[in-house]
Amino acid sequence: MYGCRMKRPLTFLLALLCCSCADAPEHDPEVERVRAHLERVERDLWSNSQLDLTPEQWAARESVLEDLRRYIEAEAYPINDRHDRMTPIFIDPLGNRCAMAALIEASGHGELVQRVARDHNLAYIDDLGGDAELRDWLQSFGLTLDEAATIQPGYTPPPDSMTWDWTAGVLGSALFGNTTALSGGVRVGARGIATNMDDACDHCVYRSMALMLEGMRTSLSDVGATSQFAALISRTVDGRPNQHEVYIIGGPQISLDENDEPGTGFGGKLGVGYTKMILPNGWLFGEFMASARNAPKGARVHAGLELGLRW
């Protein structure tokens, strides 16, 4: 038995209080959430006996699940403190590995872990389905891509939270219809990120909504240039934080000119878009957009592509 004798009661009392604090550390809610998720997935993986695997694959799979148990017990889960929204991270700045990174590394494939961390450190596992080396590893160790994806917890802000921030972008478009319309302009506004999840979700979905003002200078093939302004709302229909979004966008539009050639007109825009993060807080987007408005020279109906970069 190890210990020490305290000659002074006060010193002994202080030591007792310190020992009590050490014996009852506070638990991080995020650590508890990730651990609960991993233990639930661990049970599911052990119970899945329907896979068509060779004896070697079954043995490798059991080895991976034993490594998963050791990873769960260690509770050295990664922390992403480099972004304003929670995302998965393969290796965090302190060197902590996510569960899949730890499992791959424990199997002797540390180079694969380093490459993924270098090229796709914030990726969700099922976004890496095109990685041939990762697919070979999964096959060798008796795991499916879907199973690997479920090992990765969902990372997103608390339920029902909404955070707003400024957004701005530049864009150009080529629209076709009764005339050809080539445009360039800017968008400014506010973007809100909300979540739709609970602590048990395995692949959480989030939603994004933006309120923006758009100003475009458009060249019409038949009558010349016109200034167009729109008040737009976009809403995500599918996406992942700091990864990509599919969204719908639309709103009223007005064209304002000092002469009657293009003319003043009223109408609207509606479209669907896809955007993907290519830089920290930088998103490349493409939209298929249709617009219609009245004008002194007759109705203007166009459809085509808009491309741009937003922050």
Of residues 165 and 115, the one with the higher pLDDT is: 115
**Are residues 306 and 183 part of one domain?**
yes
**Are residues 174 and 54 part of one domain?**
no
- Sequence-distant (6+) residues with CB within 8 A of 130 are none
DSSP character string of 94-119: T-PBPHHHHHHHHTT-HHHHHHHHHH
Could you read off the pLDDT of 134-193 as tens digits, one per residue?
A: 999 999 999 999 899 888 876 554 445 567 889 999 999 998 988 888 999 999 999 887
**Are residues 266 and 224 part of one domain?**
yes
> How many C-beta atoms surround the C-beta of residue 74 within 10 A?
10
42 - beta bridge partners? none
**Which CATH number do you get for residue 234?**
2.40.160.20
Tokens standing for residue 137? 């590893």
Helix, strand, coil percentages for the chain (3-state, nearest 5): 30, 40, 30
Q: Which secondary structure element, helix H or strand E, spans residue 74, and what is its range?
A: helix 55-74
Whole-number Å distance between alpha carbons of 66 and 63: 5
Could you read off the pLDDT of 268-298 as tens digits, one per residue?
A: 999 999 998 887 678 899 999 999 988 777 7
- Sequence-distant (6+) residues with CB within 8 A of 26 are none
CA dihedral 149, 152, 157, 160 (to 10 degrees): 50
Judge if pTM exceeds 0.75.
no
**Residues spanned by the domain of 116:** 27-151
**Are residues 168 and 133 part of one domain?**
no
**Are residues 172 and 80 part of one domain?**
no
Q: Which residue has the tokens 């599918």?
A: 238
User: If pLDDT is split at 50, 70 and 90, which confidence band does 203 have?
Assistant: very low
**Are residues 306 and 215 part of one domain?**
yes
Positive or negative: CA dihedral 80, 211, 226, 275: positive
Whole-number Å distance between alpha carbons of 185 and 269: 15
**Are residues 136 and 68 part of one domain?**
yes
Could you read off the pLDDT of 6-23 as tens digits, one per residue?
A: 334 444 333 433 433 444
Whole-number Å distance between alpha carbons of 209 and 150: 27
Could you read off the pLDDT of 86-101 as tens digits, one per residue?
A: 667 888 888 999 999 9
Is residue 1 one of the residues assigned to a domain?
no
